[in-house]
């Protein structure tokens, strides 16, 4: 079975590739992936992957890759994922998320109309939810409050439209927050863990910069999330839509406390206005019941374990790079 993972060197793409290679060895998967720039996260797996380097915003290139690969399963993970930065560069977020998926679906319609395609949206599509809608199920109204959220609504509805118009087997997931080793420091767990690791190595004064600590989010480990993506394509019918998250949430300060308790350093916490956002949903909780019923999925890795692994990841990276005399580069 030929699998195509777009954005295979991204945080989620690399975790999915690793899941296929380690957990699904018996499935005889031929794994193809598109990469745009960095391939650090997949370097150790390179020999087992077939990589296609190029830009998904280029329709001719996407057409060539899909014609060559003719995948049976497609995980479309290449995307703009940074909510905060989408306010600074709204058009870049729209362009990337809409054009990459459009080019992919057009190419699939021409060359692999039977492929099963996973389209990944986000809990950000629900935006300013009414507290009475918590926990959020698939029927909750869409009220996105960021350019990122709008771009994800477009991706989500576009995937549905290709099912309506052309019968493509698209399955949509709206993923809630995911964390884990390898994530960039643009996201909260890595933002805090990296600073703690740098403080422990004496590379930063013992002041940890934070944004809004009150927001409540529903966190799932990325390794559980990629297992959910696999199950979504195994069990999903064309046009299906699933919310994927743990079903519980906690405030950012709780996540921070777990990380601080994992460190022996004395650390002062300071709010950095640069890390605050123009608009923030106060509380997000997923209702994953539909997905659980259809696939049997439930998260296996606790937030504490996940955060321990994130901190370990940044400790390793910081120590290697401080030995080399360079500051830890973003993954």
Provide the binding-site residues for ligand GDD, judged by CB under 6 A.
Answer: 81, 83-84, 122-124, 175-177, 186-188, 191, 210-212, 215, 217, 252, 275, 277, 280
Our CB check for ligand GDD shows the closer of 59 and 211 to be 211
What is the closest distance, in whole angstroms, from the C-beta atom of residue 68 to ligand GDD in the complex?
A: 29
Please confirm whether the linkage preceding 305 is cis (ω < 30° from 0).
Answer: no
Our CB check for ligand GDD shows the closer of 74 and 120 to be 120
Helix intervals (H) in the chain:
11-23, 59-69, 83-86, 90-111, 147-166, 188-200, 222-235, 252-261, 289-295, 303-323
Please, are residues 284 and 212 in contact by the beta-carbon 8 Å criterion?
no
What is the closest distance, in whole angstroms, from the C-beta atom of residue 109 to ligand GDD in the complex?
A: 26
Our CB check for ligand GDD shows the closer of 69 and 199 to be 199
What is the closest distance, in whole angstroms, from the C-beta atom of residue 151 to ligand GDD in the complex?
A: 10
Our CB check for ligand GDD shows the closer of 49 and 189 to be 189
Say if strands 250-251 and 216-217 run parallel, antiparallel, or are unpaired. antiparallel
Our CB check for ligand GDD shows the closer of 170 and 175 to be 175
Please provide the DSSP assignment of 103-168 as one string: HHHHHHHHH-TT-EEEEEEEGGGT-S--GGGPSB-TTSPP---SHHHHHHHHHHHHHHHHHHHH--
Residue with tokens 């696939």: 295
What is the closest distance, in whole angstroms, from the C-beta atom of residue 71 to ligand GDD in the complex?
A: 24
Neighbours of 47 (CB within 10 A): 5
What is the closest distance, in whole angstroms, from the C-beta atom of residue 14 to ligand GDD in the complex?
A: 15
What is the closest distance, in whole angstroms, from the C-beta atom of residue 298 to ligand GDD in the complex?
A: 19
Decide: helix, strand or coil at residue 208. strand
Residue with tokens 């492929």: 115
Our CB check for ligand GDD shows the closer of 51 and 260 to be 260
Q: Which two tokens stand for residue 8?
A: 């295979």
Q: Which two tokens stand for residue 89?
A: 């560069």
Please, are residues 215 and 280 in contact by the beta-carbon 8 Å criterion?
yes
282 HSE (CA, 13 A, CB side) = 3
Our CB check for ligand GDD shows the closer of 81 and 306 to be 81
Annotate 269-280 with b (16+ C-beta within 10 A) or e (fewer): eeeeeeeeeeee
What is the closest distance, in whole angstroms, from the C-beta atom of residue 224 to ligand GDD in the complex?
A: 14
Our CB check for ligand GDD shows the closer of 112 and 190 to be 190
What is the closest distance, in whole angstroms, from the C-beta atom of residue 46 to ligand GDD in the complex?
A: 26
Our CB check for ligand GDD shows the closer of 177 and 295 to be 177
**Greatest CA separation found in the chain?**
59
What is the closest distance, in whole angstroms, from the C-beta atom of residue 230 to ligand GDD in the complex?
A: 19
């Amino acid at each position: 079975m030929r699998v195509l993972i777009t954005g295979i060197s991204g945080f989620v793409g690399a975790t999915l590739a690793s899941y296929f290679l380690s957990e699904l060895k018996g499935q005889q998967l031929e794994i193809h992936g598109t990469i745009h720039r960095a391939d650090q996260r997949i370097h150790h797996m390179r020999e087992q992957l077939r990589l296609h380097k190029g830009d998904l915003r280029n329709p001719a290139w996407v057409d060539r890759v899909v014609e060559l690969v003719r995948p049976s399963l497609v995980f479309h993970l290449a995307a703009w994922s940074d909510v905060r930065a989408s306010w600074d560069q709204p058009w870049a977020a729209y362009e990337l998320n809409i054009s990459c998926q459009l080019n992919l679906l057009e190419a699939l319609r021409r060359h692999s109309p039977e492929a099963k395609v996973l389209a990944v949206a986000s809990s950000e599509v629900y935006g300013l939810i009414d507290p009475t809608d918590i926990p959020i199920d698939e029927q909750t109204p869409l009220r996105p409050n960021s350019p990122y959220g709008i771009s994800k609504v477009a991706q989500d509805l576009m995937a549905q439209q290709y099912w309506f118009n052309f019968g493509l087997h698209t399955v949509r997931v709206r993923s809630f927050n995911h964390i884990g080793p390898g994530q960039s420091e643009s996201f909260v767990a890595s933002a805090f863990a990296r600073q703690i690791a740098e403080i422990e190595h004496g590379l930063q004064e013992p002041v940890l910069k934070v944004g809004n600590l009150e927001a409540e989010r529903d966190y799932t480990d990325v390794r559980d999330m990629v297992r959910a993506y696999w199950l979504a394509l195994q069990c999903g019918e064309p046009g299906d839509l699933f919310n994927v998250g743990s079903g519980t949430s906690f405030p950012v300060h709780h996540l921070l406390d777990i990380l601080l308790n994992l460190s022996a350093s004395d650390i002062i916490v300071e709010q950095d206005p640069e890390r605050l956002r123009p608009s923030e949903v106060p509380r997000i909780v997923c209702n994953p019941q539909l997905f659980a019923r259809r696939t049997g999925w439930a998260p296996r890795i606790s937030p504490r374990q996940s955060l321990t692994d994130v901190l370990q990841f940044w400790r390793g990276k910081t120590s290697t790079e401080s030995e080399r005399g360079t500051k830890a580069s973003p993954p």
